[in-house]
Amino acid sequence: MSLADSLKSLNEFDVNDLDLNNAGIWPTPVKIIVALIVFGLIVGGGYWFFIKDQYAQLERVQKTEQELRKKYEEKAYQVANLDVFKAQMAEMEETFGALVRQLPSETEVPGLLEDITNTALGSGLSLQEIKLQPEQQRDFYAELPINIRVSGTYHELASFVSSVASLPRIVTLHDLTIKPTGGDGEQLDMQVVARTYRYRAGE
């Protein structure tokens, strides 16, 4: 059958005349169109029910592969630099130990108060008050506030502050107030809170 005859028979064909029992006598163009539709349905159904899930699984596997590769690279880096990390850890432990040794224990607090007293007197100051306040608990250490009140000249006060900062134990100064006590303005009264720290090991 020529192309012209096929087109003529297709134009004369009525869709209502389709009968599956007589599919063999359908015009060739109709057979081709129906075959393409059936083929498309089969391909589409196969993709929807089989291939689509495979693609989703492939994406999950690829994502897992990337995560595992990243973890592998991190582990490989750590292994390659293990000696460096060990050296850094040992240095940090040594530094931490040195800092902890600078924190007074409970038995050393009276000695620290004595050191501050001697520092004040050695700087030429008149010690008005030195009083230990209640301990304040923190995460892994405790703060020990000490109220200090001294009087003297500006240079004597500066010498005292510098000497306290040079003590072998960690002591910080807070809430410092200075006011003149004499008419000449040379004598000054200084109120300050010194804070030292105690390591709370195993409490």
Q: Are residues 68 and 141 in the same domain?
A: no
Is 172 inside any structural domain? yes
| The two three-digit tokens of residue 164, written as one number | 């306290």
Q: Which residues sit opposite 193 in a β-bridge?
A: 147, 174
CB 170 within 8 A of CB 155: no
Higher pLDDT, 200 or 7: 200
Is 117 inside any structural domain? yes
Q: How confident is the model at residue 11 (pLDDT cuts 50, 70, 90)?
A: low
Which CATH number do you get for residue 121?
A: 3.30.70.60
Quote the pLDDT of residue 26. 61
Whether residue 49 has pLDDT greater than 90:
no
Q: Are residues 112 and 191 in the same domain?
A: yes
How many helical (H) and strand (E) elements, i.e. helices and strands, does the chain have? 6, 5
Q: How confident is the model at residue 147 (pLDDT cuts 50, 70, 90)?
A: very high
Full-model pTM: 0.48
d(CA 104, CA 117): 16
Contacts of 191 (CB under 8 A, 6+ apart): 147, 148, 149, 175, 176, 177, 178
Domain count, the chain: 2
Q: Are residues 69 and 141 in the same domain?
A: no
Quote the pLDDT of residue 135. 83
Whether residue 185 has pLDDT greater than 80:
no
Quote the pLDDT of residue 98. 67
Q: Domain range for residue 157?
A: 103-199
Quote the pLDDT of residue 2. 47
Is 95 inside any structural domain? no
Is 38 inside any structural domain? yes
Is 97 inside any structural domain? no
Is 132 inside any structural domain? yes
Quote the pLDDT of residue 7. 47
Quote the pLDDT of residue 77. 80
Q: How confident is the model at residue 103 (pLDDT cuts 50, 70, 90)?
A: low
Is 67 inside any structural domain? yes
Quote the pLDDT of residue 192. 92
Comparing 15-24, 56-65, 109-118, 126-135, the range with the smallest average pLDDT is: 15-24
Is 91 inside any structural domain? no
d(CA 143, CA 168): 17
d(CA 164, CA 125): 13
Q: Are residues 167 and 118 in the same domain?
A: yes
Q: What is the mean pLDDT of the chain?
A: 77
What pLDDT, in 10s, does the model give residues 92-101? 877 766 666 6
Question: Mean pLDDT over residues 26-44, rounded?
Answer: 72
